[in-house]
Structure 1
């Protein structure tokens, strides 16, 4: 619920969404449908005004701000449409940032960041700054930064929104690989049906409600 009194707006209306470990879920819906609010709650960026949110059995709505920050830091990774890389900082240093916030030492940060870049196909590009990389490469750096902490869940908000078709498919294939080979649970918001088709499930939001929960190619309403 946002606002108060006559200005109050209920972004979500009693949804019941269950996501299993290892799922790859695409979330779709028009602007204002509630999908971004749902993702923000799942990412511990917003708190629900009512109801419950359990993460591996832990009631997240009962956690305080510091506890939610710890959950984000140790269990969740985030990828955004705009990459959000530091422009004058190397790819390696960008990927090291989450580990710096954790207080890890320089050598362990360096090794982990280098390994994460290799996992996304950017071995040898560690010293390049974002301005020296293509859009697809920048998004790969952003994904490496998101997985360097070895998160259980990766939340991706329009990860292909700023990319051309070929680069979009490359990023989606990378996400599928991370999901299948490393077991990372992925939740992705997208407006593009072609990109959503890479997911195991597609959840549609309209007016704050889940109107459909289906497997690509099927039409099972939920």
Structure 2
């Protein structure tokens, strides 16, 4: 972290669900700093707290105690509307399920965050076209999800996540529904967004070969950070033989 600008800080963050006999402490006083421009893999078994921590970072949930700072701002003190504005302005989300509107074109799916933000039709159209081109889907703007492969659908989801030019991309098992070849293609794409566009990437994954693309791996166990290690030899490109320029 030396010399890297802190972007995200969790200070003594805990999250409780329920109360009394049904109380569950999902994360337990975690401290974490993510620097601007990092590519971080979040790992751990089911129930370890990694998804809860990601939800807190993504402003989808609030800590029960502790502090969450984004660019030095105490997010835990913000109103619901302020947190929503932070999400729209600074955060992009990619999930294992592509979460695309089935009867809506790729172009219209990608435009959705800009529609919610109130951008004009022309601005939405131009930005969505650029985002789709950035993920290798130029020419596929008018295809619906049913006309796209799984890999293409995840690319549309990534385009939707980056169309607002976020500072942070939160990816929750982004390759979980893809085969090995498509998984590495998506990882190559995420790597390029991080390296070439400076987008900070936080990725939840169970797969060590996907985590190998990250510069840093944080492992959760029983609601706590068990390990936080730099990757001495991160993967810097998709495996030989994969044509990252081809349309999936």
Residue 7 (structure 1) aligns with: 22
Confirm or deny that 1:213 pairs with 2:228: yes
Residue 192 (structure 1) aligns with: 207
Between the aligned partners of 1:104 and 1:13, the Cα distance in structure 2 is 40
Residue 158 (structure 1) aligns with: 173
Offset of residue 9 of structure 1: 1.0
Between the aligned partners of 1:203 and 1:34, the Cα distance in structure 2 is 12
Tell me the alpha carbon deviations over residues 114-172 of structure 1, each in whole angstroms, 9 at most, x when there is no partner: 00000001001101111111100000000000000000000000000000000000000
Residue 67 (structure 2) aligns with: 52
Aligned residue pairs: how many?
A: 218
Structure 1 residues without counterparts, runs of 5 or longer? none
Between the aligned partners of 1:164 and 1:142, the Cα distance in structure 2 is 17
Structure 2 residues without counterparts, runs of 5 or longer? 1-15, 234-248
Confirm or deny that 1:42 pairs with 2:60: no
In the TM superposition, 1:52-71 aligns within 5 A as: 52-71=67-86
Greater helix content: 1
Residue 33 (structure 1) aligns with: 48
2:161 to 143, 146, 164: 146
RMSD: 0.8
Residue 187 (structure 2) aligns with: 172
Confirm or deny that 1:101 pairs with 2:137: no
Residue 86 (structure 1) aligns with: 101
Tell me the alpha carbon deviations over residues 84-133 of structure 1, each in whole angstroms, 9 at most, x when there is no partner: 00011110000000000011111110000000000001001101111111
Between the aligned partners of 1:125 and 1:200, the Cα distance in structure 2 is 32
Between the aligned partners of 2:29 and 2:121, the Cα distance in structure 1 is 46
- Structure showing greater relative contact order (alpha-carbon pairs closer than 8 Å, 6 or more residues apart): 1
Between the aligned partners of 1:107 and 1:217, the Cα distance in structure 2 is 45
Between the aligned partners of 2:51 and 2:202, the Cα distance in structure 1 is 11
Offset of residue 215 of structure 1: 2.0
Greater strand content: 2
Between the aligned partners of 1:191 and 1:197, the Cα distance in structure 2 is 11
Give the TM-score of the pair, scaled to structure 2: 0.87
Between the aligned partners of 1:135 and 1:26, the Cα distance in structure 2 is 22
Between the aligned partners of 1:41 and 1:90, the Cα distance in structure 2 is 31
Between the aligned partners of 1:76 and 1:179, the Cα distance in structure 2 is 14
Offset of residue 214 of structure 1: 1.1
Residue 92 (structure 2) aligns with: 77
Aligned-partner SS, 2:218 = strand
Residue 201 (structure 1) aligns with: 216
2:32 to 7, 17, 29: 17
1:129 to 144, 149, 172: 144
Offset of residue 5 of structure 1: 1.0
Give the TM-score of the pair, scaled to structure 1: 0.97
Confirm or deny that 1:181 pairs with 2:170: no
Offset of residue 82 of structure 1: 0.5
